[in-house]
Structure 1
C-alpha cells in the first residue's frame, strides 16, 4: 500500500503567522481541507476526534478534513498555521489508508520550514479568523489564484509534505486480508470519477472482473466497509464540500453527487452528518 504515496498531492490554500486572543473561539467548525498549525507562545484549547487538546508552545497539531472541531483561546497565543487539500489518487485520502497522529512535538526543522513557507507565500495569510469568512475566501481564492513561480509551487508542496509526514504512522488502517490479489484501490478512483452516476455493486464487480459476491467480500475485507456504504460516504463528503464552497441549490448538489431525489439526499445526509443539508449550510454560515 505504501507505493500509493508516490502519488500524494498536497495543494495549499493558506499559510501565515497569527497572534490571537480571546476572540479566537468557534464551535462546530468543519472544513473541506486539512489544517495544521504550530503553537509558539501562550496557550489555547481544541476539541476534535473525540479528544480535548491543550494547544501548547512547541507542539504541532493536525485537524483532518471534514472533521468537526471546537477551539478557543482564553487569553493569548501565537501560531504558525496552514491549510491544504490532500489526495493520493482521485477519491483516495491518506486518512483512509494510514493511522495519523493529531499532535507531535515540533523540532527546529519544523520551525524553519514554517518560516520558509510563510516567506515564499506572503499573500496567503488569513485576513479574518472567523472560519466561515476565511474558508469561503480561501476556496474562492484557490479557484481564482494568480500564477505563482513554478519554483515556489514545487517548494511549497515539498515543505507541506515534510510537515504532513510528521503525523503519518507506518500502520495501515485496514490490513489487506482480501483474497483478491489485484488492485482494489483502482475501484475507489472509478467511484470518485463516476460519483454523480448510478453506481451498483454489480457494475463495480464487473469493472474488477469479479463476481458480485467475490467483489463484495474482497472490498469489505480490504476496507472494512461494504461497497454501497462507501459510495454513500463519498457522496455525503462531496456534498459537504459543495455546500461549503458553492452557491448551488440543494437539488443541484444532490444531482452532482448521484442522489437524484432531494428527499433521499436529505435523508442520507442527515443520517451521516446529523443535520439536514440546508441546516448544515446555514449553521456553517452563521458560526
Structure 2
C-alpha cells in the first residue's frame, strides 16, 4: 500500500499586511490560484463560499483555499491581518486536494504572535489596493514570488515555518478528501500533472496502470471521489487560471496550449468550474 505524502508543503508568501475597512470590502466572484488566511482583530464582515456564508469575527483565523470561488460582504467597520499563500504545483497532490481544511478556527495567543512576527520579518509586503483585480495579475504575482528571493535565508526558513504553523491550525479537524492508497492511481495522477498540456484520455491512463478502461475508471473514482475526466478537466482549468495571470497570451492560445481543440468547449468548461468565462476572468485581472 502506497500513500500520497502530506509533508511536502511548498508554501510561498505573497502578501501580508493589516487593513482597516469601512463598508468598502465588497467583492464578488473572486477565484485565485493562491490561498488567503485572515486574522480578524476588529469589526465584522462575511465571506460567501460554495458551502455557505461565514461571519468573520474578532479573535478568529479564516482560510480560503486556492481556486475557491468566493465573495466578500462588509457593511461597516472591519479590521484584519491578511496573508496570501501560494503553493507551488508539483507532481504530487496538494494538501488542499487531500484534505478539506476548516474555514474558521479560534485564534490562540501563539497565532497572534506568529501573524505579527510574519509581518515584522516581511515588511513592505502589504497590498497597495484591496480590490482583488489589482493584485490578481501577472506583474503582481511574479513580483510577490520574487520578493522571497530577497529575504536572507534564515528569514525565508522562518517565514515558511510560520506559514506551515498557521496553516496547520486548519487541519486539526480537517476532513480527509482523498487518501490515495493504490500505487496505480498515484502513477496516473503524476502522469496527468506532468502532461497537463497534452491530450490525455482514459485509454492512456488505463494502459499505464495495466487495467481495462472500466476497471481503471472504477478504481480512480473510488480513490479520488471523481472520474478521471473530471480530474483532468479540473487540473487543466486550474492551469489555465495561472496562465491567464502569468502569461500575456490570447485565450485561444492558452486553450490550445492545454490541448483543447474546441475553444467553445474550453470557455464553457472554464465558466462551469470558475464561475466566469476566460474573457471575464482576464478582464477582471486587468481592471
Q: Is TM-score (shorter-chain normalized) higher than 0.5?
A: yes
Q: Could you tell me which residue of structure 2 aligns to residue 235 of structure 1?
A: 236
> In the TM superposition, what whole-angstrom CA distance separates every residue of 1:243-286 from its partner, at most 9, and x where no partner exists?
23332101221022221332332232234334432133224544
Question: Residue 82 of structure 2: SS of its match in structure 1?
Answer: strand
Check the 8 A contact 1:34/1:62 in 2, yes or no.
yes
Check the 8 A contact 1:29/1:284 in 2, yes or no.
no
Q: Structure 1 residues 64 and 72 mapped into 2: Cα distance closer, same or farther (>3 Å)?
A: same
Check the 8 A contact 2:98/2:178 in 1, yes or no.
yes
Work out which structure has the larger RCO, using CA pairs closer than 8 Å and 6 or more positions apart in sequence: 2
Residues 21-32 of structure 1 aligned to structure 2 (within 5 Å): 21-32=22-33
Q: Could you tell me which residue of structure 2 aligns to residue 269 of structure 1?
A: 270
Shift of residue 132, structure 1, vs aligned partner? 0.8
Residues 105-116 of structure 1 aligned to structure 2 (within 5 Å): 105-116=106-117
Q: TM-score, normalised by structure 1?
A: 0.89
Please give the alpha-carbon distance, in whole angstroms, between the structure 1 residues aligned to 2:144 and 2:91: 18
Q: Could you tell me which residue of structure 1 aligns to residue 39 of structure 2?
A: 38
Q: Could you tell me which residue of structure 2 aligns to residue 163 of structure 1?
A: 166
Question: Residue 230 of structure 2: SS of its match in structure 1?
Answer: helix
Check the 8 A contact 1:4/1:88 in 2, yes or no.
no
Please give the alpha-carbon distance, in whole angstroms, between the structure 2 residues aligned to 1:206 and 1:112: 52
Check the 8 A contact 2:36/2:65 in 1, yes or no.
yes
Q: TM-score, normalised by structure 2?
A: 0.89
RMSD between aligned alpha carbons? 2.2
Question: Residue 14 of structure 2: SS of its match in structure 1?
Answer: strand
Please give the alpha-carbon distance, in whole angstroms, between the structure 2 residues aligned to 1:196 and 1:88: 14
Q: Could you tell me which residue of structure 2 aligns to residue 138 of structure 1?
A: 140
Please give the alpha-carbon distance, in whole angstroms, between the structure 2 residues aligned to 1:183 and 1:15: 40
Whether 1:173 aligns to 2:180 is: no
Q: Structure 1 residues 226 and 156 mapped into 2: Cα distance closer, same or farther (>3 Å)?
A: same
Please give the alpha-carbon distance, in whole angstroms, between the structure 2 residues aligned to 1:185 and 1:131: 35
Question: Residue 259 of structure 1: SS of its match in structure 2?
Answer: coil
Q: Structure 1 residues 26 and 276 mapped into 2: Cα distance closer, same or farther (>3 Å)?
A: closer
Shift of residue 91, structure 1, vs aligned partner? 5.5
Shift of residue 55, structure 1, vs aligned partner? 1.2
Please give the alpha-carbon distance, in whole angstroms, between the structure 2 residues aligned to 1:132 and 1:245: 14
Whether 1:153 aligns to 2:156 is: yes
> In the TM superposition, what whole-angstrom CA distance separates every residue of 1:218-246 from its partner, at most 9, and x where no partner exists?
11110111111211111112112222333
Q: Structure 1 residues 163 and 173 mapped into 2: Cα distance closer, same or farther (>3 Å)?
A: same
Please give the alpha-carbon distance, in whole angstroms, between the structure 1 residues aligned to 2:70 and 2:267: 23
Check the 8 A contact 2:197/2:257 in 1, yes or no.
yes
Query: Structure 2: which 5+ residue stretches go unaligned?
Result: none
Check the 8 A contact 2:4/2:93 in 1, yes or no.
no
Shift of residue 63, structure 1, vs aligned partner? 0.7
Residues 3-14 of structure 1 aligned to structure 2 (within 5 Å): 4-14=5-15
Shift of residue 84, structure 1, vs aligned partner? 0.8
Please give the alpha-carbon distance, in whole angstroms, between the structure 2 residues aligned to 1:153 and 1:257: 33
Check the 8 A contact 1:99/1:173 in 2, yes or no.
yes
